[in-house]
Amino acid sequence: MKMLCGAALALALSGLAGAQVTPPDIARQQQQEIKRGDPPRWTRPDRTEAAQLATLRKEINAALREALEACKQQGAGANSDCVKQARATHHDDMANLRQIHVATRDMSRIYETSGK
């Protein structure tokens, strides 16, 4: 992971990443962060159910943002079927948060959100 980040940063700094130019002070900050490695919180599991549910909410919201960005890339408007489907999936996932949480604890079961 560190090597991949370092390679990407080196590529960006060398100007091979396109027209984007990283300011020198930002590049120094990035180098310092890469040297420190991943923060411990990234590898520490959520111990309580409340923390696990909070993380699941963040993941569901991030999935919505990714889906809406994908809709934008398709050129879909704000009222398109793509956006409506993304919002419906988000709504269903948030409504079934506890069931999804239980299903993720028991990975032998599959939780289907599409209603099929």
Cα 76 to Cα 25, 35, 52, 68, 82, distances in angstroms:
37, 41, 33, 9, 7
The per-residue pLDDT of the chain, averaged, comes to 80
pLDDT above 90: percentage of residues in the chain: 41
Q: Is 57 exposed, middle or buried (0-12, 13-18, 19+ CB in 10 A)?
A: middle
DSSP 3-state of 45: coil
Q: What is the mean pLDDT of residues 26-32?
A: 91
- How many Cβ atoms from other residues are within 10 Å of residue 91's Cβ? 12
- The pTM of the full predicted model, rounded to 2 decimals, is 0.57
What is the tens place of the pLDDT at every residue in 77-103?
777 899 999 999 999 999 999 999 998
What is the tens place of the pLDDT at every residue in 34-61?
998 888 877 888 889 999 999 999 999 9
